[in-house]
Chains A and B, each alone.
Chain A
Amino acid sequence: MKRQVVVVGAGPGGCTAAFYLAKAGIDVLLIDKETWPRDKICGDSYLPALYPFFEDMGIMNEMKAAAACNPKALRIIDPDEEYADFDVEPWLIAPRRIGDDIIRRGALTSGADFMENFQAEELIIRRGVVRGIKGIYNNREIEVEADAVVIADGSHSALARQLGIYKEDPEYILYAGRAYYDGVEGMEEGKFEEFYTPSTLPKPTYSPICLTWVAPLYQGKYASVGITIAEKYLRETGMTLEGLFQWWCENTKFGRERMHNARPVEKLKGWRLPGSRKIEKNYAPGAVVIGDAVSSAEAAFEYGIPSSMIGGRVAASFLPEVLSSGDFSEKKFSEFQTLVGKELNPGLEYNANFRDNILANKKTMKQFQLWAKTQPGYPHLIYDQSVVKFITEVLHKEIVLSDKKITQ
């Protein structure tokens, strides 16, 4: 089989690339290893930055209708289990099994071909240029030749690994778990809660990311409850992901309050969330890599979908030009890193700054909390604006808020 472009992975990133490529008249084959619709372990958030994509695909109304919650407020609980509330621009929470499938169907309206249950295992590389993929389909090893490949095979990417641009940074790679519950108590409608690493952990470790979250779904009838922790800190606890989650449920003030009558609707499932501070090498001659496959998000307190979809859109505008110019050089493809970097680096920088200056330290975390409560307008301060104000006015450091809104 020979196609102009093969897009590997039909998550939001791959779908966006396939959608815009097909729209530009390119012959596209989108493949995915899963049987759709498929689930994904996630906070299930579709941020406002995605709405323009949904409009283009004609799925905005469907996404809104599928939403199980429209959070407009955020509660941050610090290691001493004290909290502050903030307002945020409302976003959509919808189970990924539903939301991602709407995106996939929306993407295919532009004419891209789609094959599921197709596991891409290896890139075909000739004379240093990616020329297609090898994979398993219907229990057979098959090859698809292509002029270019968009690698969007996600967090566990086998293809990015083959190219040597896959990251395994224990400080930035998170392991996450998510379960759906009913009977979670004490939630407020439209309020997303983030619990930071409690000081009472048996083997004390402090991870500069929220340890657990609770989000009310369907008017609080159900809840999405999850855990996130970087590899490095999880290892320090000596616990399994599930063990740590159970510990939180049973041994923290809020954990007990929320969970003592909760019943799981679905078991805790785990996932690996990659993250980085800036866009690094995301290409090889003949291939571009987007989304989690190249750790394009700051997974700690940002959602991966905007970074993936923005990456997909950049790929779709970059590749037609490459195909018509016939320039498959390293230099040409390196432009892709610059293009994606221009879009995503400001957001990543903001996040890194936030992490380093506030979240990395229990003390500043506490300080931020106390400070917020003294501000006029509390508890209706806008979260990201408050972060900027605190860092510049209290800590006297610089921070720039990205207009890309890839974060909360």
Chain B
Amino acid sequence: MGGIKMGSVKILSGEGKGFTVEKTAVAHINPRNCVNCGTCRELCPMEAISESQRVICRICPECTEQDAMTFDEMYEFTTKAACTTGCPLGISPQGYINLTRAGKLEEAYKLVWDKNPLPSVCARICHHPCEQVCKRGVLVDEPIAIRSIKRYLGEKTTFRAEKYPRLYEERIAVIGAGPAGLTAGHYLSRAGYEVTVFESATEAGGMLKRGIPEFRLDRSVVDEEVTNLENAGLAIRLNERINKHSLEKIQKEYDAVIVAAGAPNSKELKIEGWRLSGVMTAMDFMEQVNHRQEIRRHPGQIFNLGGEVVVIGGGSVAIDTARAALRMGATKVTAVCLECDEEIPCHPWELKEAEDEGITLIQSHSPTRFVGTYPKLEGVEVCKVTSFSKDGKGKISCELDENDTMTIKADWAIVAIGQAPDTMWSSLKGDRVYFAGDISKSACSVIDAMASGRKVALNVDADLRGRTLKDPMDTHELHSAPLSEKIYPYNRRKSIRPEIPMLAAESRIHSFDEVEGGFDDEAAQMEVLRCLRCGYQVVDEERCIGCGICQRECPEGDVITMEPVAKGGEK
């Protein structure tokens, strides 16, 4: 090293005026020990820390299960994506996986919780975009089971959140205690505001409780996370349905209002026969399932267990609905969707789990009418889709072959073609009103809803404090590490990703028990060892002012050292 010019760092203020700081030390991060959690990068007041990604060698054919590359492709790939940029909430999986490896489970959990107030929920139902970009998965064999490690952390730690600080007098109202609302509340509480969350239902959780079936997410997990948030100081007021009148009151009482009321209303499919009894929407169905209510065709008539069910739609909600119907006693469940193959909107693993349970998905078919003798539904007529396309705005257009139709026998038809927000919010305007989650954009996943809650929280904070929004995720760029840090997959143990325990398909369809299980100690330990540790943080020594914040906040020992700079000369 050497050759670091000492002395002073000029700090510029907004108007171009500045002052200089005498620099006495510079931070140095040991790449070998850095777990790449990114804590230092986000805290550095000088933005002097950035992330480097090691080049992963992929020149030799047959070295890994994936295809070899040219040198140019390999170098280009290095900075394209990483687990640290894959999470919409900006969590660093490499960070908590390697803290887990070091036995620091509490620190690992806290690293997640700081950014994600619902770690154990996400550990079960997040569609894990981080795993999609995990370089081990893309370049070597299979991605690290990041979601399962998160679940393991939740199960192994007894995390008690510290009380949120109270720094500011402004009060913030959040409408809706779903993933987006809770996340917004969490970020603003952490920033030092008093936050109150208003929830119309009898319990917090939003779609986590009303929409997602129990066999994917045990309710006690949601309750625990909500309790954690309340213990930290987030006020959640249940049974408070906000109407126009109460909204005006809230707007007066609070300095900002975040509307995260979701999209609770299922869209209807108004084709011939839609009024037949036995046709219902996914949300109505799931809500009744989730509240263990009897399912009625109409008041007074109880769902006849043993019927045949057709679910219309191919998204995650449709698949959840189909699987729930099976568990409610349906003898046969068929889902029908317009799309085919890769275009099918649900995740491939969701479809596989459903198919394992005996559900059939009929692709490229559009329902044309509900067939029956009034008032009873008897079947769904579907027509072959010959071409399907979706524009950038999500508008679907498709062509049908009207000569190619069939009728699927159905006692029930459940329509899962999307949801819409309550119309009352569309007219809402005013200063300091923000929208987060499903209400702000259609059809988003849990993690996307949470990310939107986070973004809104940052915006609210910036607006209230009169400062420009500074989001560490916007400045998070990947740089290429020097060749001396190159990773040779050959050098990393070939080891098989442990199988995630699952209930057998034959037995799980008879209960609402969680299908997916968690890793035991042995599997988790094996799995964390598979991490390639692609990234690490690097200090720009020119910009560093030697304040030492990074060293103080680093969750790992032996990573950051403050190296003295001699006066007027060399380090």
Interface residues of A (CB under 8 A from B): 33, 41, 119, 136, 139-141, 156-158, 161-162, 164, 166, 168, 175, 177, 231, 234-235, 238-243, 267-272
Would you call B59 and A234 a contact (CB within 8 A)? yes
Which chain B residues lie closer than 8 Å to A240 at the CB level?
59, 61, 68-70
Q: Does B486 lie within 8 Å of A168, measured CB to CB?
A: yes
Q: With A141-B529, A168-B484 as given contacts, are A270 and B70 in contact (CB-CB < 8 Å)? A: no
Whole-angstrom distance between the alpha carbons of A156 and B493 in the complex?
13
What's the least CB distance linking A41 to chain B, in Å? 8
Given A136-B529, A139-B495, A267-B61, A242:B71 Cβ within 8 A: no
Whether the pair A270, B486 counts as a contact (CB closer than 8 A) is no
Q: Is the CB of B491 within 8 A of A158?
A: yes
Identify A270's interface contact among B68, B491, B495, B529, CB under 8 A.
B68
**Residues B177-197 near A (CB distance < 8 A):** none
Chain A nearest Cβ from B57, distance in angstroms: 7
Whether, in the assembled complex, B341 has its beta carbon less than 8 Å from a beta carbon of chain A, the answer is: no
A139 to B525, CA, bound (A): 8
Interchain CB contact under 8 A, A136 and B493 = yes
Q: Provide the residues of chain B in CB contact with A168, threshold 8 Å.
A: 483-484, 486
A238 to B72 alpha-carbon distance, docked (Å): 7
Measured CB to CB, the closest approach of chain A to B534, in angstroms, equals: 15
Given known pairs A136-B493, A166-B484, A168-B483, the reply for A241 and B72 (CB within 8 Å) is no
Q: How far is the CB of A209 from chain B (nearest CB, A)?
A: 16
Q: Is the CB of A241 within 8 A of B495?
A: no
The residue that B522 contacts in the complex, of A139, A156, A242, A243, with Cβ under 8 A, is: A139
The one of A141, A157, A238, A241 in contact with B60, judged by C-beta atoms closer than 8 angstroms, is A241
Residue from B32, B59, B71, B495 within 8 A of A162 (CB atoms):
B32
CB-based contact B70/A156 at 8 Å: no
Residues of A within 8 A of B490 (CB): 156
- Minimal beta-carbon separation of A293 from chain B (angstroms): 11
Which residue of chain A is the closest to B484 with respect to CB atoms? A168
**Tally of contacts, chain A with chain B, CB under 8 A:** 69
Complex alpha-carbon distance, A158 and B495, angstroms = 18
**CB pair A175 B32 closer than 8 Å:** no
Contact at B62–A269, with CB atoms within 8 Å?
A: yes
Contact with A along B33-76 (1 / 0, CB 8 A): 00000000000000000000000010111110000111110000
Cβ contact within 8 Å between B486 and A175: no
Contact A156 B62, beta carbon cutoff 8 Å: no
A140 to B525, CA, bound (A): 8
Q: Is there an interface contact between B61 and A242, defined as CB atoms closer than 8 Å?
A: yes
Is residue B554 contacting chain A, with contact meaning CB distance below 8 A? no
Q: Whole-angstrom distance from the CB of A329 to the nearest CB of chain B?
A: 24
Ranked nearest first, the 7 interchain pairs of A and B with the lowest CB-CB distance are: A270-B60, A156-B488, A269-B62, A235-B71, A156-B491, A168-B483, A242-B61
Distance to closest chain A CB from B65 (angstroms):
12
B243 to chain A, nearest CB (A): 58
Whether the Cβ atoms of B61 and A175 lie closer than 8 Å is no
Given A139-B525, A161-B484, A240-B68, decide whether A268 and B493 contact each other with a Cβ distance below 8 A: no
Q: Are B61 and A177 in contact (CB under 8 A)?
A: yes
Whole-angstrom distance between the alpha carbons of A267 and B61 in the complex? 9
Overall SS of chain A's interface: mixed
A175 contacts across to B, CB distance below 8 A: 59-60
| B242 in contact (CB, < 8 A) | no
- Assuming the A-B contacts A162-B32, A240-B69, A241-B68, are A272 and B488 also in contact, with contact meaning beta carbons closer than 8 angstroms in the complex? yes
Partner of B529, one of A139, A158, A235, A267: A139
Query: For residue A271, which residues in chain B have a CB less than 8 angstroms away from its CB?
Result: 60
Chain B 456-510 residues near chain A, CB threshold 8 A: 483-484, 486, 488, 490-491, 493, 495
Chain B 115-155, CB-CB to A under 8 Å as 1, else 0, gives 00000000000000000000000000000000000000000
Cα distance A177–B32 in the bound complex, in angstroms = 31
Smallest CB–CB gap between A365 and chain B, Å? 25
Q: Which residue of B lies closest to A35 (CB)?
A: B494
Query: Measured between alpha carbons, how far is A139 from B60 in the docked complex, in Å?
Result: 26
Q: Give CA–CA (A281, B391) in the complex, Å.
A: 61
A3 to chain B, nearest CB (A): 22
Given known pairs A161-B484, A238-B72, A270-B68, the reply for A33 and B493 (CB within 8 Å) is yes
B526 lies within 8 A of chain A by Cβ: yes
Residue of A nearest to B489 (CB): A156
With a CB–CB cut-off of 8 A, which chain A residues contact B59? 175, 231, 234, 240-241, 270, 272
Tell me, in angstroms, the Cα distance from A345 to B393 when the chains sit together. Answer: 68
CB closest residue in chain A, given B68? A240
Nearest residue (CB) in B for A269 is B62
Taking a contact as CB atoms under 8 Å apart, the answer to whether A119 and B493 are in contact is: yes
Per-position binary interface string of chain B over residues 311-337, scored 1 when its CB falls under 8 Å from any chain A CB and 0 otherwise? 000000000000000000000000000
Kindly identify, within residues 85 to 110 of chain B, every residue whose CB is under 8 Å from any CB belonging to chain A.
none
Q: How far is the CA of A119 from the CA of B491 in the complex (A)?
A: 8
User: Within the assembled complex, what's the spacing in Å between the Cα atoms of A164 and B495?
Assistant: 27
C-alpha gap A249/B59 in the complex (Å) = 19
Residues of B within 8 A of A177 (CB): 60-61
CA distance A238 to B61 in the complex (A): 15
Contact status A238-B484, CB under 8 Å: no
Cβ contacts under 8 Å, A136 to chain B: 493, 529
- Residue with the greatest number of chain B CB neighbours at <10 A, chosen from A156, A164, A175: A156
Q: Which of B69, B483, B525 has the most CB of A within 10 A?
A: B483
**Chain B residues with CB under 8 A of A157:** 491
Interface-centre pick from B32, B488, B491, B525 (highest chain A CB count, 10 A): B491
CB distance from A246 to the nearest CB of B (A): 11
Nearest CB of chain A from residue B511's CB, rounded to whole Å: 33
Inter-chain CA distance A242–B495, complex, in Å, is: 26
- Residues of chain B lying within 8 A (CB to CB) of residue A156: 488, 490-491
Q: With A and B bound together, what is the CA distance between A242 and B70 in angstroms? A: 10
Measured CA separation A139–B529 after assembly (Å): 8
Chain A residue nearest to B69 in the complex (CB):
A240
Which of B32, B62, B70, B72 is in CB contact (< 8 Å) with A268?
B62
Q: How far is the CB of A29 from chain B (nearest CB, A)?
A: 19
Known pairs A235-B71, A240-B59. 12 more at Cβ < 8 A?
A119-B493, A139-B495, A139-B522, A156-B490, A231-B59, A240-B69, A241-B61, A242-B61, A242-B68, A267-B62, A268-B61, A268-B62
With A166-B484, A168-B483, A168-B486: A269-B493 Cβ-Cβ less than 8 Å: no
Bound Cα distance A166, B485 (Å): 10
A-B contact pairs, 17 of them (CB 8 A): A33-B493, A136-B493, A136-B529, A139-B525, A140-B525, A141-B529, A156-B488, A161-B484, A177-B60, A231-B59, A238-B70, A240-B61, A243-B70, A268-B62, A270-B63, A270-B68, A272-B488
Q: For residue A267, which residues in chain B have a CB less than 8 angstroms away from its CB?
A: 61-62
The chain A residue sitting closest to B525, CB to CB, is: A139
- How many Å from the CB of B327 to the closest CB on chain A? 36
Q: A136-B529, A139-B529, A168-B486 are in contact. Are A272 and B57 (CB under 8 A)?
A: yes
Query: Which A residue's beta carbon lies closest to that of B60?
Result: A270
- Complex interface: chain B residues within 8 A of A158 (CB): 491
Name the distance in Å between B224's Cβ and chain A's nearest Cβ: 30
Per the bound structure, the CA–CA distance linking A177 and B68 in Å amounts to: 12
Please judge, given known A-B contacts A33-B493, A139-B529, A141-B529, whether A269 and B488 are in contact too, CB under 8 Å.
no
Q: How far is the CA of A41 from the CA of B63 in the complex (A)?
A: 11
B70 touches A239 (CB 8 A): yes
**Closest residue to A33 on the B side, CB-wise?**
B493
A127 to B69, CA, bound (A): 41
Distance, CA A141 to CA B102, complexed state (A): 10
Compute how far the CA of A119 lies from the CA of B488 in the bound complex, rounded to whole angstroms. 14
Point out the residues of chain B lying under 8 angstroms from A268, CB to CB.
61-62
A389 CB to nearest B CB, Å = 38
